[in-house]
Amino acid sequence: MSSFKEKIDKTNLPKHIAVIMDGNGRWAQERGFDRIFGHQNGVTSVRETTETAAEIGIQYLTLYAFSTENWSRPQEEVDALMELLIDTIEKETPTLDKNNVRLMAIGDLSRLPGNASEKLQRCIAKTSQNTGLSLVLALSYSSRWEITNALKMICTEVMAGNYSTDEINEELISNHMTTKSIPDPDLLIRTSGEERISNFLLWQLAYTELYFTKIHWPAFRKENLYEAIYEFQQRERRFGK
């Protein structure tokens, strides 16, 4: 069986891939473990996906790690996810740095526990000069939160007289999103068989190609990423033209 890796056209790679990493809980429960075991195993998939994206020359990889709505999960699960976040960032920072990966984060980071946000900011600062893959973690992120925030900022600036309402255009709105320096995703992957967006990048996904796979996140491997990229390359993007 030939690998999708060989079938990929290296001259037509998506510049930005976004991933809704879903299915951790189901993956674990199907195996008789608790949901947290699924989150722990999801870290391997994060590592493989990041490595592969860096290796083949993807410029931006955005991973939806924790949504605003996920704060409403049982406290025990939220705590476990935060702990996993801290541990993973701590352990992976040297490897990310060695591989020239730049870490970024989007979301309402003020809601993260102090030690998580401290570790995160330290890794972001340490890797900020790297020129390879930009790995963007969406943490305590939701698109409606982001759009609401953007509106507040724009209203404040209009009221301060910095510009008039006539000057509000798509570019200005994009520049008030948390993704302001990041191009829109070309490809969105969602694992676990759910076919919905779950409050992720609603503004930025306007012309993104959507790819859904039944594979649960902890089982997602390099070959699955190659397959998604291959499938993306078979599509015709028309952008309404």
Q: List residues binding Mg ion (CB under 5 A).
A: 22
Range in contact with ligand IPE (rule: CB under 6 A) among 1-9, 43-51, 65-73, 180-188? 65-73
* Interacting residues with ligand IPE between 27 and 46 (CB under 6 A): none
Token digits for 17?
A: 């891939």
Residues 6+ apart with CB under 8 A from 21: 42, 45, 46, 63, 64, 65, 191, 217, 220
Among 46, 61, 81, 120, binds ligand IPE (CB under 6 A): 81
Q: How far is the CB of 84 from ligand IPE (least distance, A)?
A: 9
User: Does 218 help bind ligand IPE (rule: CB under 6 A)?
Assistant: no
**Residue 198 exposed, middle or buried by CB count within 10 Å (0-12, 13-18, 19+):** middle
User: Does 61 help bind ligand IPE (rule: CB under 6 A)?
Assistant: no
Percent helix, strand, coil in the chain, to 5, is 50, 15, 35
Residue 70: active-site member: yes
Q: How far is the CB of 39 from ligand IPE (least distance, A)?
A: 6
**With contact defined as beta carbons under 8 Å apart, do 67 and 199 qualify?**
yes
Residue 70 site contact among Mg ion, ligand IPE, none (CB < 5 to 8 Å, cut-off depends on kind): ligand IPE
Sheet containing 187-190: order of strands:
102-106, 134-141, 60-67, 16-20, 187-190, 209-212
Q: How far is the CB of 76 from Mg ion (least distance, A)?
A: 16
Q: At what angle do helices 114-126 and 75-98 cross, to 10 degrees?
A: 20
Catalytic residue of the set 22, 24, 186, 224: 22
- The site for ligand IPE, by CB under 6 A, has a size of 18
User: Does 67 help bind ligand IPE (rule: CB under 6 A)?
Assistant: yes
Q: Which is nearer to ligand IPE, 14 or 25 (CB)?
A: 25
User: Does 107 help bind ligand IPE (rule: CB under 6 A)?
Assistant: no
Q: Give the span between the Cα atoms of 87 and 217, in whole angstroms.
A: 19
Residue 22: active-site member: yes
User: Does 17 help bind ligand IPE (rule: CB under 6 A)?
Assistant: no
Q: What angle do CA 102, 20, 144 make, to 5 degrees?
A: 90
134, containing H or E segment:
strand 134-141
Q: Residue 188 carries which DSSP code?
A: E
Range in contact with ligand IPE (rule: CB under 6 A) among 88-96, 173-181, 192-200, 219-227? 192-200
User: Mind telling me the catalytic residues?
Assistant: 22, 70
Binding site for ligand IPE (CB under 6 A): 20-26, 64-67, 70, 81, 192, 194, 196, 198, 217
